[in-house]
């Protein structure tokens, strides 16, 4: 029983020490409130948090500058200009009548600047020899009901002609006189036997060279064709 007062004193001293430490301790800082309605953290918070993506920021581009260009369309109209032709040149259309000698033939001719040598459509072409020279005999028709004219001429040379879709031909060439308008030329003419000719005579560059110009928009400029008048 004598220890009871001593025990009470010790208990009272421990209680006094506990209260003094309790009141002397500094109060703990209150936690920072968290905004539960904010989904996107600030830039500082995002940088502080590892593994977090930076916030998406909307980029507004400046509107491009629009330049208005005024385009002026200038329309030009073609003008037909009459080009004078030299007085010594014969003007021919795409088709003309030609006089052919020998034979005194008046034939409808096609004027073709794309061929070098004139051509004549003939029938019953036969080669033969006369006085050691090669000659040719053929018939030429005017295209009407008159009888075909038989002509015999020496062969000057031969030419080989190749056309797509046709066999290669070896044609004889003879000298003949062609007259269109007031112009007469002795030219080489190659003789051809073929039934698909629209014109019995095709006038090439060997007649047109240095003597005539061609206006393809016209036909029969030189009339119906006649032999030139020879003054005596």
Q: Looking at residue 109, what is its pLDDT?
A: 94
61 CB burial (10 A radius; 0-12, 13-18, 19+):
exposed
Quote the domain boundaries for residue 201.
Answer: 92-214
Report yes or no on 151 lying in a domain. yes
Q: What residues contact 164, with CB distance under 8 A and at least 6 apart?
A: none
> Starting from the edge strand earliest in sequence, which strands make up the sheet with 149-154, in order?
123-130, 133-140, 149-154
Token pair 């040379």 is found at: 157
* Average pLDDT of span 93-108: 92
Q: Looking at residue 232, what is its pLDDT?
A: 43
* Number of separate domains in the chain: 1
Q: Looking at residue 141, what is its pLDDT?
A: 85
Q: What residues contact 25, with CB distance under 8 A and at least 6 apart?
A: none
CA distances from 177 to 49, 55, 128, 140 (A): 111, 102, 22, 14
Report yes or no on 34 lying in a domain. no
Report yes or no on 70 lying in a domain. no
Q: Looking at residue 162, what is its pLDDT?
A: 73
Half-sphere exposure of 209 (CA within 13 A, CB side): 10
Burial 98-133 (b: 16+ CB within 10 A, else e): bbbeebebbbbbbbbbeeebbbbbbeeeeeeeeeee
Report yes or no on 167 lying in a domain. yes
Q: How many residues does the chain have?
A: 232
Question: What CATH number did the domain enclosing 170 receive?
Answer: 2.40.70.10
Beta partners for 126?
137
Strands 212-214 and 90-92, by their bridges, are parallel
Report yes or no on 19 lying in a domain. no
Query: What is d(CA 165, CA 2) in angstroms, rounded to the nearest whole number?
Result: 152
Q: Looking at residue 226, what is its pLDDT?
A: 61
| Chain mean pLDDT for the chain | 76
- Using 50, 70 and 90 to split pLDDT, how confident is the model at 53? low
Three-state DSSP class for residue 33 = coil
Residue 26 pLDDT greater than 90, yes or no = no
**For the range 164-170, what are the long-range contacts, defined as Cβ-Cβ under 8 Å and sequence gap of 24 or more?**
none
The tokens of 115 are what?
């061929």
Report yes or no on 99 lying in a domain. yes
Q: Looking at residue 81, what is its pLDDT?
A: 47
- Using 50, 70 and 90 to split pLDDT, how confident is the model at 59? low
- Using 50, 70 and 90 to split pLDDT, how confident is the model at 61? low
Rounded (10°) CA dihedral 154, 96, 162, 132: 0
Report yes or no on 35 lying in a domain. no
Report yes or no on 3 lying in a domain. no
pTM metric for this prediction = 0.58
């Amino acid at each position: 029983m004598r220890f009871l007062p001593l025990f009470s004193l010790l208990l009272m001293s421990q209680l006094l020490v506990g209260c003094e430490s309790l009141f002397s301790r500094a109060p703990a800082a209150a936690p920072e409130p968290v905004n539960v309605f904010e989904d996107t953290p600030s830039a500082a918070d995002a940088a502080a948090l590892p593994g977090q993506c930076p916030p998406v920021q909307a980029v507004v581009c400046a509107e491009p500058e629009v330049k208005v260009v005024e385009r002026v369309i200038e329309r030009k109209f073609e003008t037909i200009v009459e080009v004078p032709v030299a007085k010594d040149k014969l003007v021919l259309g795409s088709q003309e009548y030609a006089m052919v000698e020998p034979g005194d033939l008046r034939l409808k001719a096609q004027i073709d600047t794309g061929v070098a040598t004139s051509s004549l459509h003939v029938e019953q072409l036969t080669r033969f020899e006369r006085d050691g020279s090669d000659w040719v005999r053929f018939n030429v028709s005017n295209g009407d009901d008159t009888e075909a004219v038989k002509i015999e001429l020496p062969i000057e040379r031969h030419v080989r002609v190749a056309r797509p879709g046709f066999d290669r031909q070896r044609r004889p060439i003879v000298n003949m006189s062609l007259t269109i308008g007031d112009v007469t030329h002795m030219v080489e003419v190659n003789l051809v036997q073929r039934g698909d000719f629209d014109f019995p005579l095709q006038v090439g560059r060997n007649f047109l060279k240095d003597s005539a110009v061609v206006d393809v928009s016209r036909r029969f400029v030189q009339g119906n064709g006649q032999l030139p008048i020879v003054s005596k």
